[in-house]
Amino acid sequence: MSEASASHAADRRELSAAQRNAVAELLRVSPVADELGRRFARAGHELHLVGGSVRDALLGRLGNDLDFCTDAHPDETLRIVNGWAEAIWETGREFGTIGCQRDGLLLEITTFRAEAYDQVSRNPIVEYGTSLTEDLRRRDFTVNAMAVSLPEHRFTDPYGGLDDLAAKVIRTPGTPRESFGDDPLRMLRAARFAAQLRFTVAPEVRAAMTAMATDLDRITAERIRDEFTKLLCGADPITGLRLLVDTGLAERFLPELTGLKLTIDEHAQHKDVYEHTLTVVGNAMSMESDGCDFVLRMAALMHDAGKPATKSVGPDGRVSFHHHEVVGARLTKARMKAMRYPKDVTAQVTKLVGLHLRFYGYGRGEWTDSAVRRYVTDAGELLTRLHKLTRSDCTTRNRRKAAQLAADYDALEERIDRIAAEEDLARVRPDLDGNAIMELLGVPPGPVVGRAWKHLKELRLERGPLDRDEAEAELLRWARAEGITT
């Protein structure tokens, strides 16, 4: 036997072992899955575990959300699970899906489909199919087009998904153009799976993504947002982001990312700001302590979004980007709003982008205790993330400069800790509250109280805590200067 033949035979043995491992993984949920399969069989219908559930079983990471397909229509599925399921929901009924819960497992059962999109609107045309093979062909990728029949555990793989899973390749069951024409979001899903699973996108799939990128415009912002969030929170988002830019998909919903590729940074030390940005995203990921921190990763991705719009070249040929953090924060807010992110998430990311340059200058000895208090107060609950983002933004290849920046930030954090030990930096408030201000000035609730409160807070930031007598004297001095008292 040749070396190549021996290698191929070994691969086939591994694939057979993978099949056995998948069935073993399924044994964990089989009491429920097999029981459900028997109920469908007694009613004269088929039931198959399909899609991501089979893929994840083969990868040894099957969760508690299971997807099934069947030849039974939704009304019949309801009759079969009624009285057996602990809970039932019909939110996906118009697409042929009935959901239910049993023993802590969430089960979605969908009638065989021969589904296609009308390629004009964003809505699918749902037509029930008649066979498992037909149903599997309509799925997005071959690794999601495998099935395990229940209760007998028969494995079905008509499109080579198991081989592609072993090779870590993303392909489509039919032609990529046919698949993406049915649902253009699948192009973004290909990039997402590349990021999540560390898979390679097949050349013909990548070519179709490039040729059909404009078709993504048919998809709602919410669906794009959800896929992009999963991509950015993947194990390897850098690969996914590169794929989005290289195929032109990013230009359809996140043009700020593509725009970075043409902007050389001010130090001319990176190929471009785009490469620097991807490095910062990777650095930020390395500082996460408990899974994906989407706010931190998104802030890292967008932190230099304002550079293309603020680029200028001085007489000496040096490139600068004055106030790019301000412009970047504005662009970030507008882009995340367009992608329908929640307001609180958008506000957090935008604030980090706006603050990411605040630290620079600290090492020159210009910061007073007042500046440190303002840094902490302005960051608020985002202070820890701001620390991580600022450190991640240091990508210089100059080891001495990198070491100095790290030392400077260490010193800043130590200084914050010292001042925090002396003062309640987490809640910097005026030394007099609203009631005390009204009593001392003899004024009712209104704008004057707000102005006085703001003045005292500025004093608190500038000088630190004041005792009661100092605070009252400062308030009266301010009131006389403002003509409120004589």
Q: What is the DSSP string of 49-88?
A: EETHHHHHHHTT---SEEEEEESS-HHHHHHHHTTTSSEE
pLDDT for 417 equals 80
pLDDT for 332 equals 97
pLDDT for 270 equals 45
pLDDT for 20 equals 63
pLDDT digit string, tens, across residues 344-357: 999 999 999 999 98
pLDDT for 430 equals 58
pLDDT for 7 equals 37
pLDDT for 143 equals 95
Give pLDDT < 50 ranges for the chain: 1-15, 122, 269-270
Residues in a beta bridge with 117: 124
Cα(446)–Cα(459) distance, integer angstroms: 21
pLDDT for 478 equals 76
- Mapped onto helix, strand or coil, the DSSP state of residue 186 is helix
Element (H, E) at 33: helix 30-42
Cα(366)–Cα(350) distance, integer angstroms: 26
Residue keyed to tokens 């898979």: 199
Element (H, E) at 279: helix 273-286
pLDDT for 482 equals 76
pLDDT for 467 equals 73
pTM of the model: 0.79
pLDDT for 60 equals 77
pLDDT for 422 equals 59
